[in-house]
Amino acid sequence: MDTIPEDVHDLFEKPTFAHVATMTPTGYPHVTPVWVDYDDETGHLLVNTERERRKTKNVEANPKVGASMTDPDNPYRFLSVFGEVDEITTDGAREHIDLLAQRYMGEDEYPNPIQSERVILRIRPDRVFTGG
Q: Which residues of the chain have pLDDT under 70?
A: none
In a domain, 1, yes or no: no
**Does residue 80 form part of some domain?**
yes
* Number of domains the chain contains: 1
Residue 55 located in a structural domain: yes
- Confidence (pLDDT) at 113: 84
Domain that holds residue 100: 6-131
| Chain mean position to CA 92 | 15
- Which residues touch 44 (CB under 8 Å, ≥6 apart)? 38, 86, 122, 123, 124, 125
Specify whether the backbone of 34 is left (phi greater than 0), alpha (psi in -120 to 50) or beta: beta
Query: Which DSSP category does 119 fall into?
Result: E
The H or E element that residue 101 is part of is helix 93-105
The answer to whether 81 touches 91, Cβ cutoff 8 Å, is: no
Entry pTM: 0.95
